[in-house]
Amino acid sequence: MQCKLMMRRGLAHKAAFIASAAFLFGVTGLAKDAPRPVAVKVDLEAARADQIANLSAGALLTESAKILQTGDYSGALPFLDAYLERMAPEDNARASNLKQEVRLKIGRVKIYMNDRVGALEAFDEYMANKPQYRRREVLKLKAINLFKVGKDTGQDQYFEDCIATVTNAFYNPPLSELVLEDEKKDVSIDEMTKEQLGGLSKRQVKRNAEYAKGAKKDILKDVVAVSGPEMDAEYSVEDRVLLNITKAEACSELERWNDSIEPYRYVIDNSEDSARTGYATMKLVNSLVSLKRYDEAGDFVSELAKTDARYNIRVNLSIMKVAAALQEAEEYDSALALFRMILPRRDLILHQEGRMNEIRVDAGMPEIAVEVVTNSVGGYEAVFGHKSGYLDVSMGNSSFETPEVPPELAELEAAVNQVVALPPYEEDVHYRLGQLYAGAGRPWEAFSVLNSVYEKDVYGSLGQQAFFESLQVLVDPLEEYDRVEKVAYEYLDTYKSGLAPRQVAVALGSCYMKQSKYKEMKKLLPYINSFEPVEANDVRTALQYECEVHYLLAISDMLLLNYQAAEAGFAKLLKNYPGSHQEGNATYWHALSLLFLQQYEDAFAGFETYPVKFPKGRWDAQCSFRGGICLFSMEKYDEALARFTYVMTTWPDRNLYSDAASLRGDLYGYQGELEKAILDYREAIRTADTLQQGTYPVFQMLAVFERQSQHDEIYKAIDEYEARWAEKADVAKAAYWRGKTKMDQGLVEEGLEAYLSAVVKHGGNIKQDGVDLIINEMVNVSRGLEDDESARLNSSIQKSIKEASNPTLKLRLRCLIAQIDKKEVELGAALLAELDNFDQAPPPVLSMICKASFAAEDFSRSEELLNIFKTKFDDSEYMQAAYKLRATALFNAESYEEAMVIVKETQDLYGYAYDAAWAQLMKGKIELKNGSLLSARETFRTVLDIRDWRGESFAEALYYLGHIEEQREDFQMAFKWYQRDYVQYKGYADGYWAAECYLASARCLEKMGFADKQRDTYRAMLFDKYVNKLPQAKAARNALGGTVVSEIDTLLASGVTTNITVTIKAEEAQ
Amino acid sequence: MTRMLILSLLMICGTVSAQESAVSADLLPEYDPFAEALTAIDAGKYELATEHIEEIEDPVAKIYAQSDMIHAKGDVKAAMEEVCKALALDSSNQQSLGKCEILIVNLYIELGMLTEADNAARQIVLLYGDTEFENEANALRSKIATMKKATESK
């Protein structure tokens, strides 16, 4: 291997030199077989100095030509320099021309010597003098040389000069600007003056002219052929191609992309060299991409695809760069096309091997086989070994020992080395291809390519990244959810460490999100909790993915309306992943979850934090608006009003403008500024984007009109609403308002008729819950009807029932009649028996069935009923009856944990709503069953804090509070709770709780040793008309005995009422 | 494969000399497993097709034939998965690759993924300029556009 390395270093050096020489061969047309320079010995230099001093001017040129023939460029230079020095005083035309020729020659010789700066000086000197018969040649060489020096030094000025030189080269100045004023036409050698001979004899000049005719090498021809001046020929197409590519490349170096386009196009249109055309096309694409002219770039990509240019190594390398830029710019079509043109290293080298061998055979050289090997430091390198059959060695630099290496071959070898030196790129290209297929909307291709990258590199970072992205593609857009779940869980069950499992968890989370499987999301929790800590270098990325999973979990809770869990999730995320990519989103959602939990102050603080931390965040307007809702809810009306005004002024084009206008209208309405309220509602209606935005302010506005008795405005607003939203409109609710307005106008029967008509018209649609609102209103109105009016209404409904064929409508109408007749429980029981399934039953009917089941303590279909609500009417206000039925069923079955789940769901949905008290009570009872006395006590005490729950719920809560204290053997406290119950709430629940509390009080008094007070309590119970007929009274009767009971009965029969009050003092109790 | 086997057996048995076999082999059309596989697939002879597919050397062509067979059996999605594998290979065989890409477009159409089908067809036009595939892709794009219009009008 060491041997190979040494050979390779030699080759690289050699190749670099030959490449530069080859460049010159290509551009100057100079001798391709020029001999290579050799070292000049010091003693030889001294001898030459002596020689120069003794030679005539003509002899200096002749001697320089001889030396050049030997390939000793540096040896010839002193003779040429000496000639110029010697001839400096001569300014006649011929001598001047000869000096110019010598300057050109010096420039060329210096190029050969790789002294490009020196060459440029020679060309500059040429251009500073006249005549300039070789102007085109000089400018061409100068331009190319400037570019080379620019590349070598990295100094922009050389590229600037290069561009100027090419521009100058294409300019054709008049002849007068190029020649000397006294210059005459060429004369024959015999007629030349001494000055015209330029220091040579006529014989020498003639001999040189003859010699030049036979000279094979231009370099010699130019020096010795000092015949009469002749303007150099116009540039050939090949020259122009060369100059244009040089200019274009210089422009590219300076990133003057626009200036590079024309010269590249010239090359594409005129070059006969397909490799050069391909290269120029590629570079043109690069310029166009840099100018963001993607469509034009795409056209040239397509052109490029039709060529074999991709086999050109330089093109292949450029493709990678430009394709990456196109990918960055999300120009997927062009980027994809380019990436697909990139050849793997091995194919590229094999192709070049073929080309190299063609050249080698032509040059009489043995063929080679390129072998890519891994070197001692793990990198790649190329070894140019002979093909078997020529030499039995498989190493060595074939061209190094060969005396004449075709420059094209040297260039190819250098290019191959360049490719080999690149880090492996094939899998990266595949990975990017996968991404591009996804971006270009070709998901199956994306999956396949990404999956192949993964399969080749299962444990590598690229492979794992590809695996994650392949899962993402399977989720969206391929929707291969089952497959993702299977693969992902297999992976998560196996791997716990590193980045990949976290990524897979994110993919799985996205999978659930897409399917709205929010509950399933919880399955991820144990996995992410079991992940092993990541290594330091992966921490940042890994934490991002971990954070993403937590974010998805919290969002799922939000969507499941589990606001408490969501709040906790977002809070945890903000605490554990500070500065994460989701911090902004989590801040907003956290505040929103607090808002939904009615923790307005905390929510407000969160919404106010957001714009401070994320001044240009996406939720800025939302936070300001939601902050306004918090202020509204905190009853800070003036601040809320100012906030909504701010939102409307600051974000007039945002979607929430309409919502802000609606809420500001509400505030004005609340403050009694009805005209302003109406203006805002109208503004909200005008700017509404969604049905919800268009509906809410309409009905709010109707309520204002109703207060103002503006009946015509009501009808008009309804008409406009229905016209705008057509079939999407809440037509039933609109009909309800029409009927209600008629009522308000005193047109009761007309109003009822309108109601019934709306019910019949829309009641067949199970989803039209506005109909149920009308039915409720009809029930309310019916209560105040005269008998004859009531009979007419009943008759109309019965008629409609008979005529109805739609089962949903029939059920709704039956429900209406039952409610008017107060026979809901009976109808519910009937339907429970009658209906095999509840597919056609609208929410009120289902609710009625639930209530009937509850009354009958028939819980057999409780699960089915709740499921129907959850799947079909999850936002129905009637669902609560199903929750209650189901929770009670589970409680009775002693499935306390499941019952508690239902309770929590209910509370998340209904909070402290009037008819949701049962959930709080059940929660307390479950806690009691679980032996959590203190929690239960807190739960029941909470009931007493809710004003809306006064009544029966209070009665039950008081009983349980007493019960808890009795359990805790605090009989005095227990007695107090019990007593409060039967004193204040005996009129509720048919006296059930009061009766229970009488008995419990008596029990406590007995425990405290107050036997007489216990008897008083029993007596009070029997005197209490709310309870004395209840079964519980039997215990009191038994305790008091027949005589006392007879006395009480007699007294009660005579109309005596008592007010027996049992009081105990603290000291007595002790 | 089968034919080669028979010839080898005959040679071993001495029934025909090597020279004779060379002559008779010359007379036979060249064995093209790819074409044979496709013919067998068209005829619904999947077992035979599988034998021919095994003989296909070009990996891309092999994938194409595999996918064609899966498609013929009616599993469009599996056929899609199979044919897409061709794109993960570093193949410079434009002929085989072009066939695969056209098949991809057709499979997308069958899956009802018209936008994706059009994306793939558009790319073919970009990459296979001046070839039969460009023409096929353009024809498919017209078909897709018609289908899209029909879908939208519904």
Q: Enumerate the residues of chain B whose CB falls inside 8 A of the CB of residue A449.
A: 84, 87-88
**Cβ neighbours for A136, distance < 8 A, ≥ 6 positions apart:** A169, A232, A233, A234, A235, A239
Q: What is the residue-wise DSSP string for A1000-1021?
A: HHHHHHHHHT-HHHHHHHHHHH
Question: What is the gyration radius of the CA atoms in chain A, in angstroms?
Answer: 49
Instruction: Determine the distance in angstroms separating the CA of A441 from the nearest CA of chain B, rounded to an integer.
Output: 6
Taken in order A310, A312, A315, A321, the sign of the CA dihedral is positive
Q: Does A447 touch chain B (CB under 8 A)?
A: yes
- How far apart CA B116 and CA B105 sit, in angstroms, is 8
Q: Are B123 and B111 in contact (CB under 8 A)?
A: no
Tokens at residue A593, please? 């979850």
- How far apart CA A915 and CA A902 sit, in angstroms, is 15
**Cβ neighbours for A936, distance < 8 A, ≥ 6 positions apart:** A924, A925, A927, A928, A960, A964
Backbone phi and psi for residue A974, each to the nearest 5 degrees, phi listed first: -60, -45
The pLDDT assigned to A356 comes to 86
- How far apart CA A71 and CA A65 sit, in angstroms, is 10
Q: Are A705 and A674 in contact (CB under 8 A)?
A: no
Contact across the interface for A305 and B127, Cβ inside 8 Å: yes
- How far apart CA A785 and CA A1062 sit, in angstroms, is 48
pTM, two decimals, is 0.64
Question: CA-based angle A560:A564:A567, to the nearest 5?
Answer: 95
Compare CB distances from A301 to B115, B126, B128 and report the shortest one's residue.
Answer: B126
Taken in order A225, A229, A230, A235, the sign of the CA dihedral is positive
Chain A stretch 448-487, residues whose beta carbon is closer than 8 A to a beta carbon of chain B: 448-449, 451-453
Chain B stretch 121-140, residues whose beta carbon is closer than 8 A to a beta carbon of chain A: 122-123, 125-130
- How far apart CA A299 and CA A293 sit, in angstroms, is 10
Eight-class DSSP state of A371: E
Q: Are A848 and A827 in contact (CB under 8 A)?
A: yes
- How far apart CA A803 and CA A806 sit, in angstroms, is 9
* Other Cβ atoms within 10 Å of A917 Cβ, number: 22
**Cβ neighbours for A647, distance < 8 A, ≥ 6 positions apart:** A621, A624, A625, A628, A656, A657, A660
In chain B, which residue ranges form alpha helices assigned H by DSSP? 2-13, 18-27, 33-42, 46-55, 59-72, 76-84, 94-110, 114-127, 132-153
Chain A stretch 399-428, residues whose beta carbon is closer than 8 A to a beta carbon of chain B: 426
Q: Are A688 and A658 in contact (CB under 8 A)?
A: yes
Q: Are A611 and A623 in contact (CB under 8 A)?
A: yes
3 state SS for A673-694: CHHHHHHHHHHHHHCCCCHHHH
pLDDT along chain A (1070 residues), means of 10: 32 34 32 43 71 86 86 86 89 85 91 90 93 92 94 93 94 83 59 62 64 46 50 89 94 94 94 86 90 87 80 83 89 90 86 85 81 55 47 35 64 82 87 95 97 93 93 96 96 90 95 93 91 82 91 93 91 93 95 92 96 93 96 94 97 95 95 94 96 94 93 94 90 86 89 89 85 87 87 92 92 92 87 86 90 89 90 84 94 94 88 88 94 93 87 92 94 92 87 94 92 90 89 92 88 76 58
Which residue of chain A comes nearest to B120, CA vs CA? A442
Residue whose structure tokens are 């609109």: A734
Q: Which residues of A353-367 are buried (b: 16+ CB within 10 A; e: fewer)?
A: bebbbebbeeeebeb
- Nearest C-alpha neighbor of B144 from the set B101, B107, B124, B115: B115
Contact across the interface for B88 and A336, Cβ inside 8 Å: no
Backbone phi and psi for residue A941, each to the nearest 5 degrees, phi listed first: -65, -35
What are B88-97's pLDDT values in tens digits?
997 778 899 9
Instruction: Determine the distance in angstroms separating the CA of A289 from the nearest CA of chain B, rounded to an integer.
Output: 17
Q: Are A673 and A696 in contact (CB under 8 A)?
A: no
- Nearest C-alpha neighbor of A268 from the set A241, A237, A299, A243: A241
Q: Are B4 and B21 in contact (CB under 8 A)?
A: no
| Cis amide prior to A131 (ω within 30 degrees) | yes
- Nearest C-alpha neighbor of A407 from the set A671, A34, A113, A939: A34
Q: Enumerate the residues of chain A whose CB falls inside 8 A of the CB of residue B92.
A: 343, 347
Count CA atoms within 13 Å of residue A848 on its CB side: 28
* Other Cβ atoms within 10 Å of A337 Cβ, number: 23
- How far apart CA A242 and CA A219 sit, in angstroms, is 20
Instruction: Determine the distance in angstroms separating the CA of A265 from the nearest CA of chain B, rounded to an integer.
Output: 20
Question: CA-based angle A860:A864:A865, to the nearest 5?
Answer: 95
Q: Does B19 touch chain A (CB under 8 A)?
A: no
The pLDDT assigned to A909 comes to 83
From the centroid of its chain, how far is CA A277?
Answer: 39
- How far apart CA B101 and CA B96 sit, in angstroms, is 9
Eight-class DSSP state of A380: E
- How far apart CA B24 and CA B11 sit, in angstroms, is 12
Residue whose structure tokens are 């993402």: A472
Interface mutation target, options B81, B118, B127, B141, chain A, most CBs of A under 10 Å:
B127
From the centroid of its chain, how far is CA B64?
Answer: 4
Contact across the interface for B84 and A447, Cβ inside 8 Å: yes
The pLDDT assigned to A20 comes to 31
Compare CB distances from B123 to A336, A344, A426 and report the shortest one's residue.
Answer: A336
User: In Å, how far are A334, A472, A706, A748 from A427, measured between CA atoms?
Assistant: 20, 19, 72, 80
Contact across the interface for A305 and B80, Cβ inside 8 Å: no
CB pairs under 8 A between A and B: 66
The pLDDT assigned to A193 comes to 63
Contact across the interface for B90 and A343, Cβ inside 8 Å: yes
The complex's ipTM? 0.87
Interface mutation target, options B87, B97, B111, B116, chain A, most CBs of A under 10 Å:
B87
- How far apart CA A66 and CA A884 sit, in angstroms, is 115
| Cis amide prior to A477 (ω within 30 degrees) | yes
Which residue of chain A comes nearest to B101, CA vs CA? A445
- How far apart CA A928 and CA A981 sit, in angstroms, is 19
* Other Cβ atoms within 10 Å of A503 Cβ, number: 26
Q: What is the residue-wise DSSP string for A471-492?
A: HHHHHTTT--HHHHHHHHHHHH
Instruction: Determine the distance in angstroms separating the CA of B14 from the nearest CA of chain A, rounded to an integer.
Output: 37
The pLDDT assigned to B72 comes to 97
Q: Enumerate the residues of chain A whose CB falls inside 8 A of the CB of residue B87.
A: 433, 437, 445, 448-449
Taken in order A151, A154, A155, A156, the sign of the CA dihedral is positive
- Nearest C-alpha neighbor of A382 from the set A898, A9, A858: A9
- How far apart CA A127 and CA A739 sit, in angstroms, is 101
In A87-155, which residue ranges form alpha helices assigned H by DSSP? 93-112, 116-128, 135-153
* Other Cβ atoms within 10 Å of A645 Cβ, number: 16
